[in-house]
Structure 1
Amino acid sequence: MDIFYVYAIKSDVDQRIYVGFSSNVLKRLAEHNAGKTKSTKGFRPWQLIYSEPIVSRIAAREKEKYLKSGIGKEFLKSL
């Protein structure tokens, strides 16, 4: 069974929050900071502010959607 991680990263440049999911959070964070992701490239460096293990890809996608919603973003901003 694969474990996925829903994660949130915050830009040191303008404090924006990016939410995603991956099976390897630290590798994914390194990719964001290396400029390999088009949508986050211009806002480097990024810091990991939230990570949660999820047991299925479908559940991880649902949690990602929640964290991208208004109430989810408010939760992340409160961290």
Structure 2
Amino acid sequence: MWYVYFLELANGDIYVGYVGSTPDLKRRFASHMKGQVLSTKAHAPMKLRSYVAVETEFRARELERYFKSGSGKAVARKRFL
């Protein structure tokens, strides 16, 4: 099982926020909170707003790319945030 997840940054930014994918959601979120992820290091503490579980890494990466696009952000705001 793979997860595509949405983080709310410390400044309350969920409009852009952060979208990622991982097979181990607990470990990955912990690494975000510890400041071990360069792209979110300056924005801790953060909240895990939502996630989607999918079967394959390929599908997770595909969804992550989509949710980072303009139309994907709009869908994510309506459905997950």
Q: Give the TM-score taking structure 2 as reference length.
A: 0.85
Task: Give the equivalent residue in structure 1 for 2:34.
Answer: 34
Q: 1:21 aligns to what?
A: 21
> What stretches of structure 1 move > 6 A for 4+ residues in a row?
none
Alignment deviations for residues 24-45 of structure 1 (CA, whole Å, 9 cap, x no partner): 1121111101000011100111
Higher strand share: 1
What stretches of structure 1 of length at least 5 have no aligned partner?
Answer: none
TM-score norm. by structure 1 comes to 0.87
User: How many residues are aligned here?
Assistant: 77
When the two chains are superposed, the root-mean-square deviation of aligned CA atoms in Å is 1.3
% identical equivalent positions? 34
Partners of 1:77 and 1:52 in 2: CA distance = 14
2:63 partner amino acid = K
For structure 2, the residue ranges without an aligned partner over 5 or more in a row are: none
> Is it true that 1:10 corresponds to 2:4 in the alignment?
no
1:35-72 Cα shifts (integer Å, max 9, x gaps): 00011100111111121111011111100011101122
